[in-house]
Structure 1
Amino acid sequence: MNSSPLYSELDLVNLFVCMCLDHELPEIDNILKKEGYHLISIDRKVDTSSGSVKFDVLLSNKDKNVSLGFELKGKKASNLEKEQFDRYSNLSSEEYAKLGGVSSTNPQFHQLQTIIGINSINSKKVIEFIKKHHYKFPILAIDSSSITVKQDRIVDSSVHQHFERYFKYQSFISFIKFDKDTPLIQIAPSLITSIFKYAQKNKLIFTVDEILK
């Protein structure tokens, strides 16, 4: 991906959201939806006995009793924190299944796996970090046209096979426009436009969700 800009965390979130849509897009196959995974949450904080964890994207397959929690490191992946990775490593699948909004018929045998998603140009640095601290997280290396799994295996072998063969895509759609790292100068024009639309209708009370539509 040297010839294209590094994806931000928000870009990576949108990329994985596109892969679990109900309908396949011309630009990208909804392979995770086809494998039975449903989007459970985005950037949701869950308090556990291991501490607070917040997957950027959480997907779950009720039939397989498996959840995949994606920790996405955008840009230069400079925010590699041992404390955060320790919480993921020590996280109880059963506990998270009960607390994280996952629909599991058998939480005791639920499998939750943390997967790290990064720009491929940073894969060497992240793999070194993972090996240094003896973590067992698969790494998805992402560039402007493909995704491939490195390091460990994804617990769902069908999903692993998709990424083992270099999953190809053309582009993705940004359904989610803002996140915690979006500069206010980028958010303001959209908010002002939305507020002005409601003001024109003489609607002076509205929700945050209505503004962000």
Structure 2
Amino acid sequence: MSAALGRFPTNAHRGSDGGGRPGDTHASAASIGLWVFMGVATALFSLFIVAYVMRMSGEDAITIALPWQLWLSSALLVAGSAALQWSVGASRGRNPARARRLLLAGGLCAIGFLCVQLWAWQSLLGAQVMPAGNPAGSFFYLLTAMHGLHLTGGLAAWAWTAHDAWPEPARAAWRIALCARYWHFMLAVWLVLFGLLGWVTPEVARFICGTS
């Protein structure tokens, strides 16, 4: 199967004499599939956000101090998203060396993001903020874990894309573009979660829920 997928970018450069362009068809199908997946993921995270706000409106909810490492991890995810977007432009502009460097940088920034998130977990655990007990702490671990799992899945796709694109990035520019789109999505989700965890206090949650 991987060999067959590897031939699609080559076919994408052929003309449409009599049979269309199979590479374009495959890229369009993959793009639609990614949009559908991101829609499902958006619905999932939306449900978690609603649950968080409702739970934080309870009388037992206490705000936790977010570890400073989250600012570092956020910067890494922003950098990774930008690097992948620039890699798309470099691959389409026939600059393979720059495309490879930026593609590699995007993945390494995502790996760094996950490592710093684990560092943030250790910091909270050291401050006796456990997964069970305080609703804010429980949701912190749940939401960051869910986001981390989605990004880990994206890293698997990134590794496949990097392997396929390394010899000639221009032939896999559409795959790099899909990775960049997913990274932008993961960045947007993380910024929402970061704002939610940092600024939706019990008082704000009660105001939203109309119980203040």
TM-score, normalised to structure 1, is: 0.24
Higher relative contact order at CA 8 Å, sep ≥6: structure 1 or structure 2?
Answer: 2
Name which one, 1 or 2, has greater alpha-carbon Rg.
2
* Larger relative strand fraction: 1
TM-score, normalised to structure 2, is: 0.24
* Larger relative helix fraction: 2
